[in-house]
Structure formats: C-alpha cells, structure tokens
Structure 1
Amino acid sequence: MNRRDFIKTSALVSVAVALPLAGCTPAVKSERLNVDTMITHLESLKALPALEFDGPWPAYATFTHLAQSIEYAMVGFPEHKSDSFKTWVGGPAFWVFKQAGSMSHDTAEAIPGAPELDIEKTDPVAVNQSIDRLIVALRDFDEVTETKSHFAYGELAHEDYMLAQLMHINDHLDLLVAE
C-alpha cells in the first residue's frame, strides 16, 4: 500500500469508528440481535397495511437488498473490496459496529455487483414476498456451517456474520416511518 492509499484508508477508518459511536443511543435495537426475535418482528411487519421507509428505497427494494446480503453470504458476493480495504477499513468498521451493538452505514449503497433493485414494486403483496424472502434467507443462514467472505469485512466467524446481518437489517429498519 502506498502512502496516499494509507492516508486515505486511515481517514476512512477514523470516520468508520466515529460515526457509529456518535449515533449510539440507549434505544439501540439490541432485542432484534437474535434471529428468532428478528423473524418474529419481520412477520409482524407483514400485517401492517403499508410500510414506508424514510430512505433511498421503498419497502420491496429494501427487503430485497437485505435478503441479497444474506444470500450472498452463503453463495459468495459478486464483487469484493480490495484485501487492503478489508484489512484497514472493513474489518475495523465491523469491530466498531460489534462493540456498539449497532451499525451505521450508507443505506443507499447497493451491494457491489448485485442486480439493480426494483424501486417500482410497491404493492403490498410484493412487499410481503420480499419480507418472506428475507425470512427464508435468515433461516437458511442460521443453519449453514460454511459461509463466504464478506465483500467489505472479509472472513467472519458464523456468529459474527449473523450479528453483522442482524445489525444491517436493524439499520435499515430504523428508516421505517412507522412500525
């Protein structure tokens, strides 16, 4: 790694460390850092007449994105950040998220190389199908023993990987206008 890349990476690590800690509150969704509790919560969302997110994507696209993240953890992500990024930015960022018990990330950033999200689907049936897809992915991931390297964090133990997925879901669910 050359000097310029090192300086840029160091700055990114500093931001990755500071941002999640700045946003920590006592109201962290720690109760949903359990697979069964998260699935129960997701099931309850299907009963709501409409789900509106105060974020970049409507509900269908958001739940599809979350399901993709878990599915790629089992089959492999289409694109990866560099090894130096994983070592100097991604890995340390995950460590900070883990210590905080929550994640703060750019919720408008799609998974690199993933199919484009359909932001036109907004009907309740499609939204519930995307929630079901996420639930199936969570259940499947809970049962697997072999995972693939995360595109930004690198290699994670299964328990840490599940925690990363649950924090990722929570970060997006924080954008729900009303639950």
Structure 2
Amino acid sequence: MNRRKFLIWTLAAPLTLTFGVKTVAMARHYPLDELLMQLKRLPADKLTSHGAWNVSSILQHLAQSIRYSRLGYPQAKSALFQHTAGSVALNLFSAAGSMTHPLDEPIPGAPLLVNHLPADVAMAELVSEIEQFIAWQGDLAPHFAYGNLTKAQYYSAHYLHIQNHLTDIKLK
C-alpha cells in the first residue's frame, strides 16, 4: 500500500465507522412508553437492590435524569467532551442496545438522593417524570454528558439508562 492510500484509509476508516455506528443507533427504536407500562406493573414494595444504592435511590436518580432533560442539568461536562466522548458513547450505547456506566454515580450537581424515601413514592415520581417527558412539547435541555439531543435520542438515552439501572433491582 502506498503512502497516499494509507493516509486516505486512516482518515476514511474512522469516519466510516462513526457514520455506521450513528446510522445503526438512529435506526433503533427504544419504546419508552412500553418500559413505562412495565415499571407501572412492578410492585415497588417487593423490589430489592443488590447494588450500592437501595431501590428508592435508584428510582430517584432515574427520575432526576428524566426531569433534567426537560428542565436542565445542574452541571455539564465541557462542550469538547459532549461533542467527542459523550456523543460517541451515546451512539455506541444506542447502536449496541445497552448502556453501561457506574450505577452508583450521581448526576453532577444533583441534590443528594433520600435513602429513606419509600420505594413506592420514588416509583411514582419516576413514572410521573416519564409521563411528563413523553408528553413534553417544549425544548429539551442539553444532556450533561451527551450535549444537545433530539427527543428520539433522549428516548434512547432514558430507555437505556433505566434498563442499565434495572439490572441492580430484582423481586424479593
């Protein structure tokens, strides 16, 4: 391979890969409304967590995340991070159909979670936040790590985020 072909290939390969991942990510559908129905059927008083946070804290964290997508996140990562690592991460998660992140990491700048809040109250808050998000017609706030997202991208982010945290929850 000559030098020119090598340079073209080294520039084209990452762009092609990025475009391919983004295309797959955009083609996937994440039914947040179906997940909402599943959450409504969960008996909050019969759930337990095997992670660092209790069930209530997990549900509060998820509700915070969805609320902030409408009203604004308390702190944001740099624009450089959002346009590079953050954007790439969301596209990879969306294309793969799953998200992985530290499940005991609070949203930057968010108020502390209330450990003693009953799980059924936290579940009601989460359900309400999802319903408000689905019905929301206004502008969406930039995500603290992923930057400006469309509503469809937020559907993906919220769906995958909830699913990731549900791996720490099981029925008693």
Displacement of 1:36 in angstroms is: 2.4
- Give the fraction of aligned pairs with identical amino acids, expressed as a percent: 33
Residue type of the alignment partner of 1:170: Q
Displacement of 1:163 in angstroms is: 1.2
Task: Give the aligned partner of residue 131 of structure 1.
Answer: 123
CA distance in 2, matches of 1:49, 1:131: 10
Whether contact under 8 Å (2:45, 2:120) holds in the other structure is: no
Match of 1:155 among 139, 148, 151: 148
Deviation digits for residues 4-62 of structure 1, max 9, x if unmatched?
A: xxxxxxxxxxxxxxxxxxxxxxxxxx99x31221112111112x642111111101111
Gaps of 5+ in 1: 1-29
CA distance in 2, matches of 1:89, 1:116: 26
Give yes or no for the alignment of 1:140 onto 2:136: no
CA distance in 2, matches of 1:40, 1:160: 20
Q: How many residues align?
A: 144
CA distance in 1, matches of 2:37, 2:155: 16
Task: Give the aligned partner of residue 42 of structure 1.
Answer: 39
Question: 4+ runs of 1 displaced by more than 4 Å?
Answer: none
Task: Give the aligned partner of residue 11 of structure 2.
Answer: none
Residue type of the alignment partner of 1:172: H
Residue type of the alignment partner of 2:150: A
The two structures have a TM-score, normalised by structure 1, of 0.75
- Three-state SS of the structure 2 residue aligned to 1:52 is strand
CA distance in 2, matches of 1:168, 1:110: 13
Whether contact under 8 Å (2:99, 2:164) holds in the other structure is: yes
Q: RMSD of the alignment, in Å?
A: 1.8
Task: Give the aligned partner of residue 107 of structure 1.
Answer: 103
Displacement of 1:155 in angstroms is: 0.6
Larger Cα-atom Rg: 2
CA distance in 1, matches of 2:34, 2:166: 14
What are the equivalent positions in structure 2 for 1:47-126 lying under 5 Å apart?
49-121=45-117, 126=118
